[in-house]
Amino acid sequence: MRDWLIIVADYLKLISQIITALAAIATVMKKRKAKGKSPNRHSK
């Protein structure tokens, strides 16, 4: 009777992994854009 709970939990884990991956890609893209625009290279 609780098989759907396991399925939902697996979907939530997958979704959270996708969200974290997208967030990481977004931060990398922002950093790359910032590096190209800003003359300040010492700030991390």
Report the predicted TM-score, pTM, of the whole model to 2 decimal places: 0.57
pLDDT at 37 over 80: no
The pLDDT score that the predictor gives to residue 35 is 73
d(CA 4, CA 38): 50
With contact defined as beta carbons under 8 Å apart, do 41 and 35 qualify?
Answer: yes
The pLDDT score that the predictor gives to residue 7 is 96
pLDDT at 44 over 60: no
Please provide residue 39's backbone torsions phi and psi, each rounded to the nearest 5 degrees. -75, -15
